[in-house]
Amino acid sequence: MTTSSSRRMTPSTRSSRSVDIALDISESRVGSQKSNDLENSNYPYNKTDSRPAMPYTIGATFTAHRHVPPAPFGNGYNTPWPPFKTGHFRLPQLNYCLIRPPMKGRTLEESYTLTVADIIRTGSIYAAQVVLVNGDVVAKIYDPLYDDEFDIFDDKRDVVVLSDGDYSREAAAYDELRRDHKAQCVVPEYYGSWTIDVDTLVDGQMYTRHVRLILMEYIPDTVMTAIKPLLLSAETRSAIMKKVLEAESLIFAAGVLHRDIAPRNVMLVSPSPTSSLDDLDLRVVIIDFNVSNVIRLSEPRPGESDSAYIQQQWPGRIMGPVTRFWNAMSDFAFKGWVGSKAGTANEWLWECFGEREEYVPLVRDAGDRKACPKIDWSGELEDGGTRTDV
């Protein structure tokens, strides 16, 4: 986990021999602890929050073991979902989370002691609990017990499976991105996926739950939602937005589709404490990959051209942001970062990125300026190509 000499101790680098057998003993611990009571379908259901107090408080200490997540599923992956909204799903959230453990993956022997130093974001309105551990490392904890039990329509959610999905997708994305040095400049440094045992006391009985998490670099700066863009000049807003979409393009080129680029998932990092937002060296960092997908592991999207073929035709170029954000800038428009009308935002996209040399060339429909631009295959066709799909 160490990125410089000022970093804290790196996790133990002992051999990563699997300890699944040892940990699986505790996996079934609930079975010997009043499991019949927990599984009772006639258990009196009460929507009043009966969950124990949040365990991720300042000073709390956990022993984390390195964990290999299960294959990512959902959001474009063709991996089958685990059983969803079945079995004990209708039980109260506390009972359900005590009975149903997360998907196994593979637990390794390597361990690391985590001590919560500060709270970044916790509470049942969040799908994951985010805390600062050991001074300068962020732990994102996918604990289904403290996820929201009901959706906006008041329908019960399968919090265990949904937490598994978030964990598996985010870990897969960060693991893919750390293979690309350019993408590494626009995402937090990733320190891997881990699992902890969390003791949960219910009616005088102690239960042990396995909870998954990831560790990453702490970015101590400003989330984009904290800024009032209309107080900035139009030039500064545009320059920041360019950096955001340039960062997303590097992530896409590295093989990850984020799917949720919005101000709440963008950090603005000043090069120095005295720098302003119009500093040319302002750094953009993209966070929150729980709904993303690794492109090579996913189903092709409708109309998507093969990335290997594109690289063959335009070596060294990457797909710019125009086709992914055309008519899809509402999150930024709502906050005032771009024009509120789709046409205005689209024209800004084209002006900023449509004809840049580092991106794959695009062409617009002369008869329909509202239509999304497409890859310009004309140069290839002049050389004897036979493309017929666009």
Write out the DSSP string of 203-257. Answer: TTEEEEEEEEEEEEE---SEEGGGS-GGGS-HHHHHHHHHHHHHHHHHHHHTTEE
- pTM here? 0.86
Whether 12 is covered by a domain: the verdict is: no
Considering 163, 196, 217, which residue would you say is the last residue of a domain? 217
Which pLDDT does position 302 carry in this prediction? 63
CA 96 to each of CA 47, 109, 160, 246, 266: distance values in angstroms, whole numbers, following the listed order: 14, 28, 8, 43, 34
For residue 234 the two structure tokens come to 């139009």
Calpha distance 79→291 (Å, rounded) = 15
Contacts of 215 (CB under 8 A, 6+ apart): 1, 64, 133, 137, 138, 139, 140, 190, 191, 192, 194
Considering 167, 198, 217, which residue would you say is the last residue of a domain? 217
211 and 238 together in one domain: no
Task: Identify the CA nearest to 120 among candidates 205, 219, 36, 190.
Answer: 219
Helix (H) or strand (E) holding 110: strand 106-121
Contact between 107 and 20 (Cβ < 8 Å): yes
Which pLDDT does position 88 carry in this prediction? 86
Task: Report residue 100: phi and psi, to 5°.
Answer: -100, 110
71 and 200 together in one domain: yes
Contacts of 351 (CB under 8 A, 6+ apart): none
Task: Identify the CA nearest to 64 among candidates 215, 205, 178.
Answer: 215
213 and 243 together in one domain: no
Whether 387 is covered by a domain: the verdict is: no
Whether 7 is covered by a domain: the verdict is: no
Calpha distance 272→281 (Å, rounded) = 9
Tally of domains within the chain = 2
Whether 99 is covered by a domain: the verdict is: yes
207 and 234 together in one domain: no
CA 147 to each of CA 209, 259, 283: distance values in angstroms, whole numbers, following the listed order: 15, 21, 32
197 and 246 together in one domain: no
155 and 51 together in one domain: yes
Structural domain containing residue 281? 222-382
Whether 11 is covered by a domain: the verdict is: no
207 and 326 together in one domain: no
Q: What is the pLDDT along the chain (390 residues), one digit of tens a residue?
A: 544 333 344 444 444 444 443 344 344 344 344 555 566 555 544 555 688 999 999 999 999 999 999 999 999 899 999 999 988 888 999 999 999 999 999 999 999 999 999 999 999 889 999 999 999 999 999 999 999 988 889 899 999 999 999 999 999 999 999 999 999 999 999 999 999 999 999 989 999 999 999 999 999 889 999 999 999 999 999 999 999 999 999 999 999 999 999 999 999 999 888 888 989 899 999 999 999 999 999 877 765 667 778 888 999 999 999 999 999 999 999 999 999 888 899 999 999 999 999 999 999 999 999 999 999 988 654 444 444 444
> For position 300, which CATH number holds?
1.10.510
56 and 137 together in one domain: yes
231 and 108 together in one domain: no
259 and 319 together in one domain: yes
Which pLDDT does position 380 carry in this prediction? 54
Considering 177, 197, 217, which residue would you say is the last residue of a domain? 217
212 and 251 together in one domain: no
For residue 243 the two structure tokens come to 């950096």
Task: Identify the CA nearest to 224 among candidates 273, 140, 285, 280.
Answer: 285
